[in-house]
Amino acid sequence: MAHFLGIDIGGTGVKAAPVDTTAGHLLAERQKLPTPQPSTPDAVMDAAAKLVGNFDWTGGVGMTFPGVVVDGVIQTAANLDKKWIGTDAVKLFGDRTKLTATVLNDADAAGMAEMRFGAGKGEHGTVLVLTLGTGIGSALFIDGILVPNTEFGHIEIRGKDAEKRASEHAREEGDLSWEKWAEHVDEYLEHMEALLAPRLIIIGGGVSRKADKFLPLLGHLRARVVPAALQNDAGVVGAAMAADTGLTAA
């Protein structure tokens, strides 16, 4: 069995759990700390290090970040402190914990988990995984191969980043009904279908637990639209998978 610690950094929370990457399930109950405010690299990494300590972990670690990550260096930070941009997250984590981490985009990690263990298992062609949370993360797969760091949550719709209208945060902040929010999500998915023509769209993030409240409200798309099977654990599982395989985004 292969056991790795997965850490999922998000705009509102930092989650972690040890994962059996052979079976794709958590080995202990997931722990979560609120994302520090301000969400500076030092503050967030302190939270990650605390989670490592809570599990008394000394093995391999995978970590996600909500932005573009290239060779462990953060390139964008739309929903965290801009001081992250240019930060070598691998080095910073190592300085805090004396452990080595594999760092990748959060939606890419969630997508990897869904493609191997969840709703995308066995799927071919173009598959789009979208995480609707603080923002919108995206992971694109072509015949099971990841195209890293797509960041489709930032395409412009009606003069705004799509995530400002169709993320779960946008629904909560705007106090939108499920019906009204589904209209925003539907418009976004129509744009993504026009751009990519995916066979399958997997909706993840915390809102995937409530898929029955909005998926039936979506209009007709050529693609099948399904909720993530691993729900909000997908990022943690995918982070651990990345540590197992040594994945880096070039």
Q: Where are the domains of the chain?
A: 3-107+233-245, 109-230
Q: What is the pLDDT of residue 249?
A: 43
Equal CATH topology for 3-107+233-245 and 109-230: yes
Q: What is the pLDDT of residue 250?
A: 36
Q: What is the pLDDT of residue 220?
A: 84
Q: What is the pLDDT of residue 247?
A: 65
* Model pLDDT for residues 2-38, shown as the tens digit of each residue: 999 999 999 999 999 999 999 999 999 999 999 999 9
| DSSP calls for 114-177 | HHHHSTTTT--SEEEEEEESSSEEEEEEETTEEE----GGGSEETTEETHHHHSHHHHHHTT--
Residue 167 CB neighbours (<10 A): 29
Predicted TM-score of the model (pTM): 0.95
Residue ranges of the chain with per-residue pLDDT less than 70: 1, 247-250
Domain over 3-107+233-245 is classified CATH 3.30.420.40: yes
Phi and psi at residue 43, to the nearest 5° = -65, -45
List, in sequence order, every residue forming a beta bridge with 227; answer none if it has no partner.
Answer: 203
Tokens of 104: 């990748």
Domain over 109-230 is classified CATH 3.30.420.40: yes
Tokens of 26: 């958590």
Tokens of 102: 């594999």
CA–chain centroid gap for 55, Å, is 22
